Structure 1
Amino acid sequence: MRSPTVGVADTSQITAAPGGLLGRLGGLMADRARWVFGFWLIVAIALGAAAPSVFDSLAGAGWQANGSESVQTREVAQAHFGGNSAAAVQVVIHSGTVTMDSPRTQRLITDISGILQQDNRFGAIVAPVPGQTVSRDGHTGILLAGANASTDDMVAAVTDIGPKLKALSTDGFEIYPTGASALWSDFNKANHEAMMKAEMFSWPVTLAIMVLAFGSLVAAGLPLLLTLTGLVASAGGLVLLNHLTPISVWAMNFAMMFALALGIDYALFLVSRFRDAMRKSGDARAAVAETMDTAGKAVLLSGLTVLISLSAVLIVPAPAVRTMAVGIMFAVSFVLLSTLTLLPATLGKLGRKVDAVSLPHVARQPHRSPRFAAWGELQQRRPWPFAIAALAVLIGLSIPVFGLKVAMPSISVVPEDAAVRQGYELVQREFGTGAPGMVQIVAPAPVGEQAAAVARATEGIAMVTPPQAAPDGSGWVMMQAMPKVDPSDPSMGTILDTLRHDLPEGALAGGAAAENLDLQAALNHYLPIIVGVILALGFLLLLVALQAPLIAVLGTVVSLLSTAAAFGVAKLVFQDGHGAGLLGFTPQGFLDGWGPVFFFAMIFAIAMDYTVFLLATAKEHYERSGDPSVAHVDGVAHSGRVIAAAAAVMVAVFFTFALADPLPPKEMGIILGVAVLLDAVLIRLILLPVLLRLTGHAAWWSPRWLRKVLPDISFAH
């Protein structure tokens, strides 16, 4: 058994102890507070100047699998067929009184063409063609505007011309831009508005929880102020980064939500520890040093865990997915940096004033919670009932995950009054169920007729247009194949696979629906790789931090268990529709395709966040006492209130997104909120502490050779 070290209750030791690197950093920040404030003021002003334009500057597309056959098809179509690719815009024109060949309609088509030709992002303009893009009754036509820019620029182009086209929808005419670019334009707009509303609602809720948790307006306001500073800096940074490489607008949406939750977590952990150190020593600088030397290490390791988990997503060859991960990593990095520099400087200046404007109960809140200490002691006496109950719930909720289905979102995720959805439904009604999901086939001219014959013979294909030679004489031909099913129908994948298998060599099949299917295939392919990488890196980080193989394994496994349970709940809600009426949505019969890859990384990062907080605190007390029982009880007693408060904040932030009308933010809010709730209650406050009780000294044992290899990290101050 290791001999106990000097406890922090000895205030002379606190002041004199040199501390570790982070302790010295904290002391330096407190001593140089004005320089720190000046640095962050400059950063906030410099990057903040660009922050207001973040949502207008960031990219709107990128939902593709780079290198896939569908992307290759789009590139050929865009280069050789006047931009008639999956990124092209189809403008649907409908009148209940006149036909497409009437003078009124022809004047309208001329007006629409004029608007499009004024924007150099649009390529060749093709008016509705009878027999191809004019309905049988002649009352509906589709004008094609080729793509003469990147997919991101085409989404922005649709956003820009939308009001102009809407202004022409008079005198009995309906005009709707449709196609993939229009879909992402309306999709991003609807989701951005919903997420902004949820963010605005979550801030006051968060502040209320923080005031109750800290008992002081000053202490409660610090995390929000620091998080806001980090978010402003990251927003401006993303605008600048967007000039180097397109960054998805979703990156900022996710970054705002995730950084708010994590920033409050980190500040909560540090401020709570600082207040305890101040009560014992009365020396603000010494309290900052102790806080950074103990809780600061846990925050740093937690932040690294989040960044490592999200970095695994970067291997997916989809720009939108990658840049969402980059956006969150960017925001978390700024929040982490402000937590480790600006917060210690602020705490050093505030000292006892951190409890200013306190609620009556604040003085009665010791860092070691008597209630959570009693909870830990109860687990010491009755470990097995707690372990069995927690495992039963988690495993029971995890079982449905084996029936989880994923697919790219259907048109139903766009609001019913969105122009793209109205145009989509009109095209289906007038041209056929599969018309919005036309498969584009490009082939070398010598095999063009053979490719057309193969397409016509493919089961599930309703119609194939005649091959048309490329106008630039490049030797390519193009044809369009209309499937018999809706683009989101599960059989669409089988139809596309069969067609691609049978097409002659050199022929390519793509289109908007094919791009979605190729992206889903890439996400499915990389999911097990990402899971493996995240688990391995998470284990290694815990091993380095805790110097104990067994507890590192257990911490990783239980985090995986809470993640599986969250996805099990997602299957029950979003695939099977349980609670759909209460939450106000119509289930698609599947989870949106990016969910497993992206949400797994986010959930696991959050789970490991709490794991580090709990186990770092337990290890600190084990280093002091050498007693695993003390480590267990005091680990829960000192971190339980912080974990509960942090979880309450995260659940509040995430569940506000469940109130959104569009489905993707609702999925995100429910899945992440449930994950945090399950993880905090069943894992961090029950199962993991019980595992510490059951494993005893073995939890903290490490072979001598491993201790020599790993860096020496201690959490005791």
Structure 2
Amino acid sequence: MTRSTTVDGDQPTTTTTAESGVLGRMGVAMATHTKMVFGVWLIVLVALGAAAPSVFGSLAGAGWQANGSESVQVRQLAEQHFGGNSSAAVQVVVHSDSQTVDSPRVQQTLREVGAVFAGDARFGAVITPQPGMSISPDGHTGILIAGANASTDDMVKAVDVHKAELTALSGDGIEVYPTGASALWSDFNKANHDAMIQAELFSWPVTLAIMVLAFGSLTAAGLPLLLTLAGLVASAGGLVLLNEITPISVWAMNFAMMFALALGIDYALFVVSRFRDAVKNGGDPRSAVAETMDTAGKAVALSGLTVLVSLSAVLLVPAPAVRTMAVGIMLAVFFVLLATLTLLPAVLGTLGGKVNAGSLPWAKRQQHRSPRFAAWGELLHRHPWPFAIGSLLVLIALSVPVLGLKVAMPSIEVVPTDAPVRQGYELVQGQMGEGAPGMLQIIAPTAEGTETGTTAAATDGIAMVTPPQPAPDGSGYVMLQAMPTVDPSDARMGTILDTLRADLPPGALVGGAPAENLDLQQALNDYFPLIVGIILILGFVLLLVALQAPLIAILGTVVSLLSTAAAFGVAKLVFQDGHGASLLGFTPQGFLDGWGPVFFFAMIFAIAMDYTVFLLATAKEHYERSADPKVAHVDGLAHSGRVIFAAAAVMVAVFFTFALADPLPPKEMGIILGVAVLLDAVLIRLILLPVLLRLTGHAAWWSPAWLRKVLPKISFSH
């Protein structure tokens, strides 16, 4: 059935709607009421865009902790009863080669440091360097401690404000460096932010070039970037507003920038390619929008839902920074998906055939059904086994190293060598001992103070324990500082912490920055199997609902694990073993950063399922039309292969630009995600999964009658 519609004062246009599905009808509505759609999006972008510029200054800088852990309890007790002398306290290292701490010039510098803290209510009690505790044996290095009188996030912001003023006090042979956990996150967040911005600036022109090559049209190539920009601005503003309710990690925006660019282009590429084909086949713009949204739009909606569901599992981890990184990506995906399903149909309906404006010479010869990928599909159909075995061998070989993967929280080496916190860290280590930058804090009831000190001093791996210091508020607690014999990031630190907690009196609690890192790592390790299980189950359920076929839903879920395992195998070889470290410009830590497995697994699996939905939705569409598994296999590749290849090229380009960053975590992120996408797109989506469709034939699409009755009816044919 057809109907006549008038679009914003334009001439009536005949649009096919009766046979359209929900998304098709919604797409036509967007294309019909373009002024309203543009107006709503303009309001949203202006409102959220007003907050967006402050995103990096507003968001939280800490949150790397396991809520409810023993180390967090110690920090809270230290803040309540010991003037804020907790792991969040700011430590200022003052050193002179020629003068001792008790010299008049160094004492004057210490007073100037104290004056900087005196004017800021976020700092608590100031503790000057104490002999035997925070003064080096040779007397040339002292550590002044400014207590934490605010949350860990506010303490990082306080360091952001004052670290330049503190380092400016250096001079006349005296060096001043702010150190400690708050200073570490301040310096690291800045280095990470700068690296992210540089990578994004580099990736945009590369992305545009790939888009022009893929579309052959300047107009069509620009649409994905405009869509992504809208999603990015909206998500940035949304994060700022959400931060007013609960602290959101600044890392959330870093990841949101990456995913908004990668997935936004993916979705727009799939939709715009289908629309160009529909317009080329003689459809009017509204009919073309309806067909596009009923097919490609449906796949995009299911893909976006899969990404959101996969990332939602990360919210189970009791670590604010990890949770809010997931929130940042989910918010970016939500806005990009919303723009794809509303703004993009309105733009396409307005452009119509003009979507091909600015076409390059070869673009006019392009067909949506790629002859090259059709020929590739035919080749896989004739010779499935060699390709299946070859891709499996490569993936398995790359996956084997993952069995030896080690994880730990980042060491000081993730901070640039010229960062004040690293200079102070290395100075303290050289003057006071290997474990001096990672002092463990022990809080115990006063009655157990002496026993706690004696037991701690006798513990293997503890170099020195300070005498019990009673709480100034008379609360009945004492604090002791225990200096390990090893660097805070040394694997032996975990054994030392476990021994202390096992041997100390029952009322004693052990914390400090190294303990917080270890407790967070333990929480990540504990939750990892649960998160993997939830993601796999939910991924399978979503594929089952989308495809209405249990066998291909199972196969699509299982093969997604192969690219994930292979990516982590490569990560072990590069970041743990150091292969290619000199080429990439970093010093290996001997482990992968601890949050990597949980977070990267969710991200990689989400991306893998993204491509799975694109390929299998297209194959299902052709199977519904032909009832021929060969047509589904070959035409599925012919119609989606170029899009998957171009989308993967964009993602790989985006992710690999982060490999150029100086800080190690963005480098890890770029390499792992880039390798995962490359392996997934080439070896799985364009080889292994099509071969599985070939080998399973009709069984791939079979579904028992009882299951068809239970599942909602979803069709990809138009």
Matches within 5 A, 1:541-556: 541-556=542-557
Q: Is the 8 A contact 1:14 1:290 kept in 2?
A: no
Matches within 5 A, 1:190-589: 190-589=191-590
1: CA distance, partners of 2:114 / 2:17:
78
Q: Is the 8 A contact 2:17 2:25 kept in 1?
A: no
2: CA distance, partners of 1:395 / 1:103:
66
**Are residue 74 (structure 1) and residue 75 (structure 2) matched?**
yes
1:16 CA drift (Å): 5.8
Q: What code does the residue aligned with 2:681 have?
A: A
1: CA distance, partners of 2:259 / 2:534:
21
Q: What code does the residue aligned with 2:50 have?
A: A
Q: Is the 8 A contact 2:167 2:178 kept in 1?
A: no
Structure 2: gaps of 5 or more residues: 1-12
What SS does structure 1 have at the residue aligned with 2:16? helix
1:139 CA drift (Å): 1.1
1:13 CA drift (Å): 12
What SS does structure 2 have at the residue aligned with 1:49? helix
Counterpart of 1:710 in structure 2 is 711
Counterpart of 1:654 in structure 2 is 655
1:632-666 alpha-carbon deviations (Å, 9 max, x no partner): 00000000000000000000000000001111000
1:138-173 alpha-carbon deviations (Å, 9 max, x no partner): 111000100000000001111111111121111111
2: CA distance, partners of 1:436 / 1:163:
21
2: CA distance, partners of 1:131 / 1:466:
10
1:281 CA drift (Å): 2.5
1:93 CA drift (Å): 0.1
Q: What code does the residue aligned with 1:407 have?
A: A
16 and 466 in structure 1: CA distance in 2 versus 1, 3 angstrom threshold = closer
What SS does structure 2 have at the residue aligned with 1:527? helix
Q: Is the 8 A contact 1:288 1:348 kept in 2?
A: yes
Q: Is the 8 A contact 2:23 2:298 kept in 1?
A: yes
Q: What code does the residue aligned with 1:252 have?
A: M
Q: What code does the residue aligned with 2:120 have?
A: D
Counterpart of 1:129 in structure 2 is 130
1:18 CA drift (Å): 2.5
What SS does structure 2 have at the residue aligned with 1:659? coil
Q: Is the 8 A contact 1:219 1:354 kept in 2?
A: yes
1:17 CA drift (Å): 4.4
Counterpart of 1:105 in structure 2 is 106
Q: Is the 8 A contact 1:89 1:180 kept in 2?
A: yes
Counterpart of 1:188 in structure 2 is 189
Counterpart of 2:50 in structure 1 is 49
1:287-339 alpha-carbon deviations (Å, 9 max, x no partner): 00000001100000000000000000000000000000000000110000000
Q: Is the 8 A contact 1:559 1:607 kept in 2?
A: yes
Counterpart of 1:4 in structure 2 is none
Q: What code does the residue aligned with 1:343 have?
A: L
1:364-389 alpha-carbon deviations (Å, 9 max, x no partner): 11100000000000011000001000
Counterpart of 2:6 in structure 1 is none
1:15 CA drift (Å): 2.9
Q: Is the 8 A contact 2:74 2:442 kept in 1?
A: yes
2: CA distance, partners of 1:516 / 1:243:
27
1:14 CA drift (Å): 8.4
Q: What code does the residue aligned with 1:605 have?
A: A
Counterpart of 2:92 in structure 1 is 91
Q: Is the 8 A contact 1:599 1:672 kept in 2?
A: yes
1:202-258 alpha-carbon deviations (Å, 9 max, x no partner): 000000000000101100000000110110011011000000000000000000001
What SS does structure 2 have at the residue aligned with 1:661? coil
2: CA distance, partners of 1:611 / 1:109:
61
1:448-468 alpha-carbon deviations (Å, 9 max, x no partner): 111111101111001000001
Q: What code does the residue aligned with 1:357 have?
A: G
What SS does structure 2 have at the residue aligned with 1:120? coil
2: CA distance, partners of 1:509 / 1:16:
67
1: CA distance, partners of 2:15 / 2:300:
20
1: CA distance, partners of 2:163 / 2:528:
37
2: CA distance, partners of 1:106 / 1:279:
79
1:716 CA drift (Å): 0.2
Identical columns (%): 79
Deviates more, 1:671-680 or 1:16-25: 16-25
Deviates more, 1:100-109 or 1:297-306: 100-109
2: CA distance, partners of 1:353 / 1:638:
22
2: CA distance, partners of 1:16 / 1:592:
52
Counterpart of 2:638 in structure 1 is 637
Q: Is the 8 A contact 1:215 1:359 kept in 2?
A: yes
1:501 CA drift (Å): 0.6
Which TM-score applies when normalising by structure 2? 0.98
Deviates more, 1:498-507 or 1:677-686: 498-507
2: CA distance, partners of 1:221 / 1:590:
41
What SS does structure 1 have at the residue aligned with 2:87? coil
What SS does structure 2 have at the residue aligned with 1:472? coil
What SS does structure 2 have at the residue aligned with 1:124? strand
Counterpart of 1:612 in structure 2 is 613
What SS does structure 1 have at the residue aligned with 2:361? coil
Q: What code does the residue aligned with 1:484 have?
A: T
What SS does structure 2 have at the residue aligned with 1:716? coil
Q: What code does the residue aligned with 1:545 have?
A: A
Counterpart of 2:593 in structure 1 is 592
1:132 CA drift (Å): 1.6
Counterpart of 2:665 in structure 1 is 664
Q: Is the 8 A contact 1:18 1:24 kept in 2?
A: no
Q: What code does the residue aligned with 1:505 have?
A: P
1:472 CA drift (Å): 0.1
Counterpart of 2:147 in structure 1 is 146
2: CA distance, partners of 1:577 / 1:107:
46
Which TM-score applies when normalising by structure 1? 0.98
Deviates more, 1:96-105 or 1:187-196: 96-105
Q: What code does the residue aligned with 1:589 have?
A: G
